[in-house]
Amino acid sequence: MKMTTVRSFGLFVCGVLCGMLLGAPRVHQVFAQARAGGPAPMDLPALQAEVERLRSIAPTQSHVMADIATQYANLWFAGQRRNWPLATYYFNETRGRMQWVVRINPTPKIVGSQETVDLKGIFDGIDTGSLAPLKKAIDDKDSIQFAAAYKVVLESCYSCHKSLGRLYLRPMIPRVVAQPIINVDPAAAWPQ
DSSP string for 141-178: T-HHHHHHHHHHHHHHHHHHHHHTT-TT------SS-S
Q: Which domain holds residue 108?
A: 59-163
Q: Work out the average pLDDT over 20-28.
A: 53
Is residue 28 located within the same domain as residue 114? no
How many domains in the chain? 2
| Residue 88 clears pLDDT 80, i.e. is over it | yes
pTM of the model: 0.72
Highest mean pLDDT among 25-34, 103-112, 174-183: 103-112
pLDDT of residue 162: 97
Distance between CA atoms of residues 96 and 66, nearest Å:
13
Residue type, position 59, single letter: P
Distance between CA atoms of residues 74 and 94, nearest Å:
10
Is residue 19 located within the same domain as residue 94? no
pLDDT of residue 31: 56
β-bridge partners, 116: 109
Distances (CA, A) of 147 to 64, 97, 107: 24, 21, 31
pLDDT of residue 94: 98
Is residue 80 located within the same domain as residue 113? yes
Distance between CA atoms of residues 83 and 31, nearest Å:
51
Is residue 129 located within the same domain as residue 69? yes
pLDDT of residue 168: 94
Under the banding of pLDDT at 50, 70 and 90, the label for residue 12 is low
| Residue 13 clears pLDDT 90, i.e. is over it | no
| Residue 2 clears pLDDT 70, i.e. is over it | no
* CB neighbour list of residue 122: distance below 8 Å, 6 or more residues apart: 159, 160, 163
pLDDT of residue 143: 97
Is residue 26 located within the same domain as residue 75? no
Distance between CA atoms of residues 104 and 59, nearest Å:
8
| Residue 3 clears pLDDT 70, i.e. is over it | no
Instruction: Find the CATH number of the domain harbouring 75.
Output: 1.20.120.290
Under the banding of pLDDT at 50, 70 and 90, the label for residue 59 is confident
Residues 92-139: pLDDT tens digits? 999 999 999 999 999 999 999 999 999 999 999 999 999 999 999 999
Helix (H) or strand (E) holding 84: helix 84-104
